[in-house]
Structure 1
């Protein structure tokens, strides 16, 4: 039986043994009656076992067990003699071929058995939802049997719910996570996220983004070092915090886009004198204050200072002259009436956005993620809105600006479908997805090759290209100082001095290490 031993190099997957019983029975029976017939049948058996091995097993193969047993019974009870031998042999081989074809077909169909991929994202606005639903439909069409179960959360809710959800067996396979120590870092430390380096190699993710942007989605394996180590997320949007403005209001009061800090401050006073609120603003949600004050802070700071603080490098500190000056400037603008009256009680998505859309104010310092909503709501009038970068307060030609990549997609460490999850991430971060994002008015992480000038979308892309190509992309300060929003609100309310403010942030910063 040496020939039989040779087939053992093809180890049958669990569940295929019932098929092998049929083939083995034929081989053993034919050994007694005809060595030549045995050799032929054995060669077929080796081929069949190899076929089963390559097509995989299926737990539902047991459905065929009764049919298999009937064939085995036939093999052992029939009498193979004389001229009947070849006729019976042909009959048996036909039975085996039919059974194999049915089984392999069943296995192949099971490879497309229904799978639910659970995805959590933060695309809450109408224009965003249209975009992501289109991408999900494309993925399902390309993967028969796969259903995307999409769950939508605000960013703050994602951060709060992620630790528990990712610890559960039925948690999200793919989830958007916030960057920084309290977001991604805490999840990495708890072992809840899958390192994506191998998938980045496989799909070419390393080459999709400008140098240095991957650091924002990277952590050491223990979650203690931000900006280094493994890649744990991939983003499909880019973000830049700048100034939206109404072109017709600027034209009415004789303003052009300010090119210097001095020109910007002069524009604030010109608008106020003309009866306009210069900057619409609402800090009720907390995080918008990080962006508005952070934009001023970046105008006074250097990238090295902010990098050292964000990545907790040696000597990194929040107690700098730039931060004190930025806090003083914020208080000065509040007292001058440059912000919406009663901004402390205004939320972001309704009151503040509504004020800007309805021209209750001339400008709005916020992120590029609002472009899609503005285009959707204003329609043809959207190009009456422009976008520019807040100028540098220190005379830099290209201003340091808050920005980076949007919330990245990550994979739950215990997902049963990590390869499928990676395929999903590859699709929603692909150049095709980037084109769809841009069509909907969003800034994709993969920048479009060309844009139409003198449009809102064109302004946003030009701003992003300028800072990303000149290494002037800054950071969101709450990535490393989780309580900074409350500290900023205290400073804006005049409850603490600028010096006390920076020291309070420093204390929070050190206590969160």
Structure 2
């Protein structure tokens, strides 16, 4: 089995304060690469680049292959990796970047608490000069580039300057299905939300579980809600809310409609029995062992065996009105350059390589979902990955990527997760769930405005 790193809302539940609280002293400003000449010419002197990342196991093998190819292209540059688990990296990255002997490059999480704090505190470089030099400003879809943009003063997210670049690997939220279960019941793979609900009702009528789901863990319980939001609201509306545009109320993000759907499904008995007491890993196992037909999940978080790669599939459902494909999606990781790096040109060359076609092809070869490139060779023996790539390409065509909804505030994931639990228990309505999210958002905006 392959084990892939979970990103997005689930991962963002980890605390970041210890490593980042010291990153943004009052009056700090972002470090700017444009204040010095930048160059693509990284030949000549021998350089060692230190990289802090969280890629291990199969992901580590992918990263090793990328490093090997980069070093072959640039024989004077040696990459030295320091690899720890996700929590260790994110809890210490601010302090490590403050160290003159720290990493040249670090994987940096999205959002206010992580990348925003590091940018404002001058820990990571403003990459605008390199973006123009390498053409990232034209090559990266704006819905992807926006996820790593901040104003240098750290007051606005999703606009301003580029502070990190995506790796050529992505993570989405969408609908997984067990084709064996559907085939035995004579049901088609759903292509729309209406198709999905017909299938789910038929699965239930056959005495089986339609949706593998558990709501005991607040953070992981939200994937189903975030996936459904995208079927009701425009990518721009969701993006403007998450990026604190300030003009979009939460009720314009599809959250009320999504909450209405999941409450209806819970009441219909479509979830795993006793779902309120089911943990995240147990719900995953229910799905992987064929005990449910569907699961809304993050790509990369289900460890499919070689045999299961032929049995399971993935679909990005289109919007209810208009049929446009809009979905939560981001790079599997973002790479930032330390403002203390003595070799920023070499570091930028590595960032460019990590976003390049060779890295994307290597991702596919190692069983991971690529990003930024569509002209890749897809292994014929991995049907499941092929369905993910097809779904992602539909997002590419529509430029329909939306950011993870919980990036909107440091506490939104916990707030919405808790409200979902109360929604299922009949203690709040979909509108009250949205109101709680708006209150969280307003409180954060007020605090952010005060600095």
Structure 1 residues 237-269: Cα deviation after superposition (integer angstroms, max 9, x where no partner): 223221111111111111112233222112112
Are residues 1:118 and 2:50 paired?
yes
CA pair 159-497 structure 1, distance change in 2 beyond 3 A: farther
TM-score where L is the length of structure 1: 0.70
Are residues 1:189 and 2:120 paired?
yes
Deviation at 1:406, TM superposition (A): 3.0
Contact 2:53 2:81 in 1 (8 A): no
Contact 1:136 1:148 in 2 (8 A): no
Are residues 1:476 and 2:404 paired?
yes
Supply the distance in 2 between the matched residues of 1:145 and 1:204 (Cα, whole angstroms): 22
Contact 1:173 1:415 in 2 (8 A): yes
From 299, 314, 328, the counterpart of 2:260: 328
Secondary structure of residue in 1 paired with 2:296 = strand
**Worse-matched range after superposition: 486-495 or 503-512:** 486-495
1:7-406 correspondence runs (5 A): 111-112=45-46, 115=48, 117-124=49-56, 126-141=57-72, 142-144=74-76, 146-154=78-86, 157-236=88-167, 237-283=169-215, 286-320=218-252, 322-344=254-276, 346-348=278-280, 350-370=281-301, 373-374=303-304, 378-392=305-319, 394-406=320-332
- Residue 394 of structure 2 corresponds to 466
- Residue 360 of structure 2 corresponds to 434
Supply the distance in 2 between the matched residues of 1:320 and 1:214 (Cα, whole angstroms): 23
Q: Which has the higher helix share?
A: 1
CA pair 354-406 structure 1, distance change in 2 beyond 3 A: same
- Give me the CA root mean square deviation: 2.7
Secondary structure of residue in 2 paired with 1:444 = coil
Structure with the bigger RCO (C-alpha within 8 Å, sep 6+) is 2
TM-score where L is the length of structure 2: 0.79
Deviation at 1:299, TM superposition (A): 1.5
- Residue 447 of structure 1 corresponds to 373
Deviation at 1:196, TM superposition (A): 1.3
Supply the distance in 1 between the matched residues of 2:349 and 2:217 (Cα, whole angstroms): 35
Q: Which runs of 5+ in 1 are unaligned?
A: 1-109
Secondary structure of residue in 2 paired with 1:227 = coil
Deviation at 1:314, TM superposition (A): 4.0
Secondary structure of residue in 1 paired with 2:250 = coil
Contact 2:237 2:253 in 1 (8 A): no
Deviation at 1:157, TM superposition (A): 4.8
CA pair 448-323 structure 1, distance change in 2 beyond 3 A: closer
Supply the distance in 2 between the matched residues of 1:321 and 1:242 (Cα, whole angstroms): 17
Secondary structure of residue in 2 paired with 1:379 = coil
Supply the distance in 2 between the matched residues of 1:451 and 1:249 (Cα, whole angstroms): 29
Structure 1 residues 106-131: Cα deviation after superposition (integer angstroms, max 9, x where no partner): xxxx9437x3x33222334x322221
Bigger Rg, structure 1 or 2:
1
Secondary structure of residue in 2 paired with 1:258 = coil
Structure 1 residues 473-500: Cα deviation after superposition (integer angstroms, max 9, x where no partner): 2221111132222222222222433222
- Residue 488 of structure 1 corresponds to 416
Supply the distance in 1 between the matched residues of 2:354 and 2:83 (Cα, whole angstroms): 16
Supply the distance in 2 between the matched residues of 1:295 and 1:305 (Cα, whole angstroms): 15
Structure 1 residues 162-199: Cα deviation after superposition (integer angstroms, max 9, x where no partner): 33332233333211122222221121111111011222
**Worse-matched range after superposition: 263-272 or 488-497:** 488-497
Deviation at 1:461, TM superposition (A): 1.6
Contact 1:120 1:151 in 2 (8 A): yes
Deviation at 1:326, TM superposition (A): 1.8
